[in-house]
Amino acid sequence: MSEKTEPDVKNSANGSAKPTSPNADLKSEFAAFLDYAPAPESSEDAEIKQRYHHFINGTFTEPVKQRYFKSINPATEEVLSEFAEGTSEDVDAAVKAARRAYDKVWSKLSGKERGKYIFRIARMIQERSKELAIVESMDGGKPIRESRDVDVPLAAAYFFYYAGWADKLKYAFPGKTPESIGVCGQIIPWNFPLLMLSWKIAPALAAGNTVVLKPAETTPLTALKFAEICRDAGLPDGVVNIVTGAGQTGAAIVDHPDVNKIAFTGSTEVGKIIQKSLAGTAKKYTLELGGKGPNIVYEDAPLDQAVEGVINAIFFNQGHVCCAGSRLFVQEGIADELIEKLKARMESLIVGDPLDKNTDIGAINSKMQFEKIEKYIQIGKNEGAEFYQTTCDLPKNGYFCRPTLFTGVSQSNRVVQEEIFGPVLTIQTFRTPQEAIEKANNTPYGLASGVWTDKGSKIFETGKAVRSGVMWSNTYNKFDPTSPFGGYKESGIGREGGLHGLYPYVNLEH
Amino acid sequence: MSNRIPVLKTYKTYVGGKFPRSESGKTYPVKNSKNETIAHACRCTRKDVRDAVLAAKSAFPGWQNRTAYNRGQILYRMAEMLEGRKSQFVEELALAGGKEKQAAKEVEAAIDRFIYYAGWTDKIAQVFGTINPVASSHFNFSSPEPTGIVAILSPENHPLLSVVSLVAPVIAGGNSCVLLAPESNPLPAVSLGEVLLSSDLPGGVVNILSGYHSEMAGNLSSHMDVNAVFNSSDDHSLRKLIDENASISVKRVKHYTPEDWHSHTVEDPYLIQEFMEIKTTWHPVGM
């Protein structure tokens, strides 16, 4: 797609028209000797039922109203399976089960025994890792390399990490006695379905709470596989309950009077609605919301490393990452060279079948998200930004988006201010570190940021001045169960992961 | 008893290191326990709230970047200054109808509370920060940083001790704040501004407004530059209003109504941490 292409529905950002990028020659040069043979992972290893029910009180339970919704494989646009649509009746049953389990079993169990259950779960995720990775990619569209090497192993690691805390909580809160809270309502997004589940459930259980969790409506499959794991691990009935559904199901959890704590990961827009609906209640809450991560490259940065980092920052998981480095700031002196290298590297990215081990960028998670990204690409063009997209082939079916750049953007452009949640990067230049920092901080968000330089003192100065919960220096998009994650400002409240990730799940008594 | 006519004090506000009157030009009577008017205090409104938030916003970067040691020194200096003006505050508390002995006890507790938090400034990162052993070749650490601008709503009891107990943890962590003084007796809180100014605390780090909370709380808790609200009022409808307003820009809210402001449990480093953000930094390790 040429940067000069007029807005046109047929020639839309991801249309099937053959691209004619000015960089097309880069591609041919590259692809001539580097054409990968397809290496698809077999989906036979993944058993997917035609229909899934809620998991309530240790049992797969049909929804009271008997309504189901379909989940689509975004890479093929085919129906993958059907899931129960949770109503307030289902949520109520799940909360009651969680309350019973909390009162009768889980709160009475010693930390040591709780921990052993969580360790079991961690092990069983490892044992079923291949299957989990495949269904994660089929349900959500992410490349198998990522679900296999990042999502699933990290999910297991979070359970391992928090399992160990269960009988050591008193060491986490000096001077205080931590006590469990009760029933936790947890609502997770579609970008890292199993991983987000682990961020939520592992610390909640370790701290002695029981859980009602709602996975996102486009990616509920691994949560129900996880329910099987809970059952197989012998986890007492009702300790973990999974209710599937869309926004209304989530609202029923948030509004339920017998829920003691809400944990939500998702958009800032929905986070604000949740925060408002919790007003005047005694419920605790943590919010992990949107971002518009600044990624600052100083002119003394190791350029090739920085290019790799920029690619990873924005194109990891199709850009469906709340902490994505979606705003690149390049110091003027190296801007031309970096952008040229960046375009060349982007040309080598393979967009396609999520199950193919060669794929770098999989399918956009849903039609809705695909349309949102397209809308933003159009907005960026209309705002007069310079548009660039790579020339790679896209599969005929499914929702795919080529890696996209906007240069010549200004701070007030919507594509610079608003979270797109797709493989779309904006590039701005700067002269002084102060200018970069000021621009970096000039959004309502503050989740994550990146800085690239060879100079340590510059890293610390920038790291201190940029207001964000995570500062990746000379790296980006790294996650670990020991490492706290969460936002400043409108990117959220509270931290998940690490010792700090235990706070939201305890009451501290003197 | 001489025939000298005593000089009465005009109570103003404390904003940006200065003592301006309310923009509204209005005052309201402050009564003692016998319902006699003992002074007039500024009745601040929306415009004063905006000015105070602006002052807090301007002061924040400088205060945040002071060393923890320096912040501790200044908090300690506040205790020194308050100790030196002890009798003034005892009189002011007694004026409102308190017993002198009780008043003295409250002032002493307030002084000690400054000392307590003065000692925390350079330890909070050590107690609440972590080095995280990630399973990759990265060095990774988490450290608390101030949340930003904190709105503080004080309660109606213990008008000096409560105010000090709320302000000290907030500024110890490096935040700046706007305080709504106790409505029924804002006098000690407003006088505290004199102590703060003479303690080398940069102007704007603490801003003190008096008036009716119902006329200010809405604007303060919905102000887009306020990052957090520390509320000590137990009024349920006010709490709900604060919570709802907080959701406009995802503000942190802490409702805090201890039974006894003298209790040692009010001295709590976790209150400092409530108004701090954990920042986690990663860097690769390798040759």
Write the DSSP string, A37-98.
PP-BPPGGG----SEE-EEETTEEE--TT--EEEEEETTTTEEEEEEE---HHHHHHHHHHH
Is residue B221's pLDDT more than 50?
Answer: yes
Residue B103, in any domain of the structure: yes
Cβ separation A471–B282 shorter than 8 A: yes
Is residue A5's pLDDT more than 70?
Answer: no
Is residue A13's pLDDT more than 50?
Answer: no
A35 by Cβ neighbours in 10 Å (0-12 / 13-18 / 19+) ranks as: exposed
Residue B17, in any domain of the structure: no
Cβ separation B250–A287 shorter than 8 A: yes
Query: Residue B270 is part of which domain span?
Result: 27-284
Query: Would you give the DSSP letter of residue A324?
Result: -
Q: List the CATH number of the domain containing B113.
A: 3.40.605.10
How high is the ipTM of this complex? 0.94
Residue B1, in any domain of the structure: no
The 10 Å Cβ neighbour count of residue A93 is 21
**If you average pLDDT over every residue of chain A, what do you get?**
93
- The pLDDT of residue A1 is 33
Is residue A381's pLDDT more than 80?
Answer: yes
Mean pLDDT of A331-346: 97
**Could you say which of A184, A230, A322, A392 is catalytic?**
A322
Residue B20, in any domain of the structure: no
Is A322 noted as a catalytic residue in this protein? yes
Rounded CA separation A506/A207 (Å): 6
Rounded CA separation A63/B17 (Å): 62
Mean pLDDT of A362-367: 96
- The residue behind tokens 């409506």 is A217
Secondary structure of residue A296 in the 3-state scheme: strand
Picking from B267, B277, B287 by the largest number of A CB atoms within 10 A of its own CB, the best residue to mutate is B277
- The pLDDT of residue B187 is 96
Picking from A488, A503, A510 by the largest number of B CB atoms within 10 A of its own CB, the best residue to mutate is A488
Residue B114, in any domain of the structure: yes
Q: How many domains does chain B have?
A: 1
A441 by Cβ neighbours in 10 Å (0-12 / 13-18 / 19+) ranks as: middle
Is residue A9's pLDDT more than 80?
Answer: no
Q: How many CB pairs below 8 Å do chains A and B form together?
A: 111
Residue B18, in any domain of the structure: no
Q: What is the DSSP string of A49-64?
A: -SEE-EEETTEEE--T
Is residue A391's pLDDT more than 80?
Answer: yes
Q: Tell me which chain A residue has its CA closest to the CA of residue B237.
A: A280
Secondary structure of residue A485 in the 3-state scheme: strand
Nearest to B130 by CA among A408, A172, A31, A309: A172
Q: Which residues of chain B make contact with A495, given a CB cutoff of 8 A? A: 278
- Give Cβ neighbours of residue A141 (< 8 Å, ≥ 6 apart): A73, A74, A75, A318, A354, A362, A363, A364, A365, A398, A399
**Could you say which of A288, A419, A490, A496 is catalytic?**
A288
A8 by Cβ neighbours in 10 Å (0-12 / 13-18 / 19+) ranks as: exposed
Amino acid at A313: A
pLDDT in tens, B132-144: 999 999 999 999 9
Is residue A476's pLDDT more than 70?
Answer: yes
Rounded CA separation A473/A453 (Å): 8
pLDDT in tens, B251-270: 999 999 999 999 999 999 99
Of A8-17, A103-112, B159-168, B214-223, the least confident: A8-17
pLDDT-derived band of residue A33, with 50, 70 and 90 as boundaries? low
The 10 Å Cβ neighbour count of residue A60 is 16
Nearest to A494 by CA among B254, B190, B218, B115: B254
Residue B22, in any domain of the structure: no
Residue B16, in any domain of the structure: no
Task: Give chain A's domains with CATH numbers.
Answer: 24-35+291-473 (3.40.309.10), 52-68+85-289+487-509 (3.40.605.10)
Per the CB < 8 A criterion, the answer to whether A217 and A74 are in contact is no
Share of chain A above pLDDT 70, in %: 93
Cβ separation B282–A473 shorter than 8 A: yes
Per the CB < 8 A criterion, the answer to whether A359 and A353 are in contact is yes
Is residue A485's pLDDT more than 90?
Answer: yes
Is A77 noted as a catalytic residue in this protein? no
